[in-house]
Structure 1
Amino acid sequence: MKRTHLPLNGLRVFDAAARHLSFTKAADELAVTPAAVGQQIRALEDMLGVVLFRRTPKGLELTPEADKGLDALRAGFLQFEESVRAMQSGQSSNYLTIAAPRDFTAKWLTPRLARFGAANPDVQFTLVSADDDVDFTEANLDLAIRLAEGPGEHEGVKLGDGAFVRVGAPDGGATTRISWPGCPIAEGEAGLRLGDAGLAIDAAAIGLGEAVVPFLLVAGDLDSARVRALDNSREHPLAYWLVAPLPQWRQKKVKALVEALTA
């Protein structure tokens, strides 16, 4: 059904002027000038084809036409306020749905979500495994983490520097090249091909070969000496990014989590 165009700004000004029976006091409430209030009222009167106010020796008063529509107008504004509160309720909800690569969730994200959850015990997480771009609308996501060169079409912030490092088993092991989609080897080249960087790190840890992986992902394994660095980390165009469309990015619950994960 096609809706009639409503001059909402003019109606808002009319409501304020009707409550105060003063253009000056309405202007103070709305943080505009009395002249601007007068212009809005005149434009509304022209559109409706009725006179809304009359000036009398006692001051401003409503016409019968204005008085007749005032109760319904105020009820409508109350409905608008309830609608806005309902739409904003998701901002204060305790549920966050996050999409991230499986290996990143296991090696980096989960312990940090655990710490965030300990500090915010009412928060509940739903984690979705996703290696590629995700449809935020279809998946009802609040936030996604992806290995990419930038945030793409979304808002985003980079987690650490884009750096890769070559790692192997602590006590040596094979020198076979271990590849994964973020660091592939050429077709026909000898090597061990695995599905993600997490599997590549695990394979390197048990001596199956050497893997070039994101430093952010392998930092915990390096600290625990599960693997050892075979060279210094090098800058790389790929990095892990926290991303979300602008509406999700503006949510308070998303902002709080992004701040915690980037601290």
Structure 2
Amino acid sequence: MPPYELPPLNALRAFDAAARHSSFKAAAAELFVTPTAISHQVRQLEAYLGVRVLDRTPRSVSLTPAGAELYEAAAAGFADISRVVSRLRKGPTPVTLTLSATTGFLSQWLVPRLDEVRRLLPDIEFRLHAGNAPVVLKAGEVDVAIRYGRGPFPGAEATVLKRDTFTPVCSPRLKLTRASDLRRAKLIHIDGQRVPRPPPTWARWCAEAGVTGVDTEAGIRFTDGLHAVQAALAGQGVAIVSRVLVADALSAGLLSQPFVEVLRGETYHFVCAPGLSSRADVVALREWFQRNLMTPP
């Protein structure tokens, strides 16, 4: 015995279309058949049920009480089937991987390399979360992060990537070659840096490099490292910035590193939410960061 007591499905489909359009002609156009074929299918349905489902007039059709009851059930069933078919044809829902990092790291280092990440993980929907304050990692929300600091990072599994350094950079147009050239250069400062500690200030750099005669408090001041980098690119002065974040600009010749003396920064780590360290996409992304970020610029 069949599991469902159903009328002929072609007849039910013809009835549904005729009921929706109140017209055999419009139903025929939708189903790419003739109005006569629609009429025949509806008569077949009525013969199967033993009741009349549509009242006909020369210009339109309308539902009978029995037809209205059948149409409600048929329309709901076809709608459910349509939703499932649409979802199945689109394929499985892509896995989403959300990565959090500082605004500077995302904009200056990762975003220029996003095409590589997409090629690495073509079936992954990759999302970026920018923020300078660490976020709680949780699978399905924020899965992985690039953290900058000494660690440890509670509630996360961490892998060391690269120890950072801070170096003076400027536009090649300034033609700085010796530390004594700083006496004629405009210094760019970044106030309020929380990491690394102690902060990479001009006073600290000059002290460690043994440079004297430089007014380490004069110059342009910013509260955002991105603005300081833009000012350096524009030839407005010399800034002490993370070498990781300006690696591309140095390689392209947009910035120069006129002095060898650097200040030690903190360490970049790849961290992931608990339980994700062995997931295939997380492993692939971690290994990609290890290959690319650990390579000297």
Common fold, TM-score beyond 0.5? yes
Tell me the distance in 2 between the aligned counterparts of 1:192 and 1:158.
Answer: 34
Tell me the distance in 2 between the aligned counterparts of 1:196 and 1:243.
Answer: 25
**Equivalent residue for 1:164?**
166
Query: Which residues of 2 match residues 197-212 of structure 1 at below 5 A?
Result: 197-212=225-240
Instruction: In structure 1, list runs of 5 or more residues that go unmatched.
Output: 1-91
SS in 2 for 1:242: strand
SS in 2 for 1:226: coil
**Equivalent residue for 1:196?**
224
**Cα shift at 1:222:** 0.4
Count residues in correspondence: 171
SS in 2 for 1:236: strand
Tell me the distance in 2 between the aligned counterparts of 1:205 and 1:195.
Answer: 17
Tell me the distance in 2 between the aligned counterparts of 1:251 and 1:233.
Answer: 41
**Equivalent residue for 1:125?**
126
- CA displacement, residues 155-206 of structure 1 (integer Å, 9 cap, x when unaligned): 22233232121101111184223215244659x9444333433322211111
Query: Which residues of 2 match residues 27-66 of structure 1 at below 5 A?
Result: none
Q: 1:233 to 1:196 in 2, by over 3 A?
A: farther
**Cα shift at 1:233:** 5.5
Pick aligned residue for 1:240 from 268, 273, 282: 268
* Letter of the structure 2 residue corresponding to residue 102 of structure 1: T
Tell me the distance in 2 between the aligned counterparts of 1:138 and 1:261.
Answer: 19
* Letter of the structure 1 residue corresponding to residue 237 of structure 2: G
**Equivalent residue for 1:106?**
107
Q: 1:200 to 1:149 in 2, by over 3 A?
A: farther
**Equivalent residue for 2:287?**
259
SS in 1 for 2:276: helix
Q: 1:150 to 1:222 in 2, by over 3 A?
A: same
SS in 1 for 2:106: helix
TM-score normalised over the length of structure 2: 0.51
Tell me the distance in 1 between the aligned counterparts of 2:164 and 2:243.
Answer: 8
Higher mean alpha-carbon deviation, 103-112 vs 242-251, is at 242-251
Instruction: In structure 2, list runs of 5 or more residues that go unmatched.
Output: 1-92, 176-184, 203-215, 292-297
* Letter of the structure 1 residue corresponding to residue 101 of structure 2: A
Q: 1:240 to 1:196 in 2, by over 3 A?
A: farther
**Equivalent residue for 1:78?**
none
User: Retained in 2: the 8 A contact 1:98–1:128?
Assistant: yes
SS in 1 for 2:268: strand
**Equivalent residue for 2:189?**
178
**Cα shift at 1:94:** 2.6
* Letter of the structure 1 residue corresponding to residue 239 of structure 2: A
**Cα shift at 1:139:** 8.5
**If you compute each CA radius of gyration, which structure gives the higher value, 1 or 2?**
2
SS in 1 for 2:172: coil
User: Retained in 2: the 8 A contact 1:166–1:230?
Assistant: yes
Q: 1:236 to 1:139 in 2, by over 3 A?
A: farther
**Cα shift at 1:219:** 0.8
* Letter of the structure 2 residue corresponding to residue 211 of structure 1: A
Aligned-residue RMSD, C-alpha: 2.8
Tell me the distance in 2 between the aligned counterparts of 1:255 and 1:205.
Answer: 36
Tell me the distance in 1 between the aligned counterparts of 2:219 and 2:200.
Answer: 10
**Cα shift at 1:143:** 0.7
- CA displacement, residues 17-63 of structure 1 (integer Å, 9 cap, x when unaligned): xxxxxxxxxxxxxxxxxxxxxxxxxxxxxxxxxxxxxxxxxxxxxxx
**Cα shift at 1:138:** 10
User: Retained in 1: the 8 A contact 2:103–2:132?
Assistant: yes
**Cα shift at 1:224:** 0.8
User: Retained in 2: the 8 A contact 1:147–1:239?
Assistant: yes
